[in-house]
Amino acid sequence: MSTLSVLIEASANSWGKLATEHGDRTIGIILRALVSFCNAHLAQSASNQLLVFAYGRNIEKKMIFSSSRPDDRETSTVIVKRLREILTRDAQGDEVRVGVPLGPALAHAFCHMKKTSKTVTADQCADSLGPQTVSTGEPVETGAESITTRAVLISMTPISGAEHAFLGY
Pairing mode of beta strands 2-9, 148-154:
parallel
Overall number of domains in the chain: 1
pLDDT score for 12: 86
**Per the domain annotation, does 121 fall within a domain?**
yes
Domain containing residue 45: CATH number: 3.40.50.410
156: pLDDT strictly greater than 50 = yes
Give the pLDDT band of residue 32 (cuts 50, 70, 90): very high
With respect to residue 168, please indicate whether it lies within any of the assigned structural domains. Answer: no
In a domain, 165, yes or no: no
pLDDT at 4 over 70: yes
Handedness of CA 43, 138, 110, 148 (dihedral sign): negative
Residue 166 lies in a domain: no
What is the reported pTM?
A: 0.72
| pLDDT score at 39 | 93
Q: Compute the distance between CA of residue 91 and CA of residue 137 in angstroms, rounded to an integer.
A: 47
The answer to whether residue 61 sits within a structural domain is yes
More confident residue, 16 or 118: 16
How many Å apart are CA 133 and CA 123, to the nearest integer? 8
Bridge partners, residue 114, by sequence: none
Q: What is the pLDDT of residue 104?
A: 77
Flag whether 56 is in a domain: yes
| pLDDT tens digits, one per residue of 47-99 | 899 999 988 877 778 889 999 888 878 889 999 999 999 989 888 887 777 66
Q: How far is CA 75 from CA 7, 44, 93, 149, in A?
A: 15, 15, 28, 19
Average pLDDT score over residue span 31-60 = 90
Most confident of 17-26, 95-104, 152-161: 17-26
Whether 135 is covered by a domain: the verdict is yes
Q: 64-79 burial by CB neighbour count: b if 16+ within 10 A, else e?
A: bbbbeeeebeebeebb
H or E element in which residue 55 lies:
strand 49-55
58 φ/ψ sector (left φ>0, alpha ψ -120 to 50, else beta):
left
Alpha-carbon distance of 121 to 85, in angstroms, equals 38
Q: Would 130 be classed as within a structural domain? A: yes
**What is the tens place of the pLDDT at every residue in 111-141?**
877 776 554 444 445 444 444 555 555 555 5
DSSP per-residue letters across 16-49:
HHHHHHH-THHHHHHHHHHHHHHHHHHHH-TT-E
How high does pLDDT run on average in the chain?
77
Q: What is the pLDDT of residue 118?
A: 54
Give me the pLDDT at residue 28, please.
Answer: 92
Classify each residue of 129-138 as buried b or exposed e, where b means 16 or more C-beta atoms within 10 Å of its C-beta.
Answer: eeebbbeeee
**Structural domain span for residue 87:** 2-158
